[in-house]
Amino acid sequence: MKQFTYTITDPVGIHARPAGMLAKAAKALDSTVTISKADGSKSAVATKLMAVMGLGVKTGETITFTIEGGDEEASAAAMEQFCKDNM
């Protein structure tokens, strides 16, 4: 299991477009990616668009990515790069 945190910098948080792109990127991986709010109140599997949007992540909030199974190292690196490029 690999984990990393990321603080959202997008001015409107995780809305429909980045959530859709995130779900698509997660589906392409050989691992299961779970996103959790920093306070632990909510979590969602990254491939589930509506669940990711339901987290209600706003600008400045920190989320934790948990990557399990498959090639965790490569999947974690891909997710970190996706966050830096898109969120």
Active-site residue set: 15
- Asked if 14 contacts 26 with a C-beta cutoff of 8 angstroms, the reply is no
CA 9 to chain centre: 13
CA 39, CA 75: separation in Å to the nearest integer?
Answer: 24
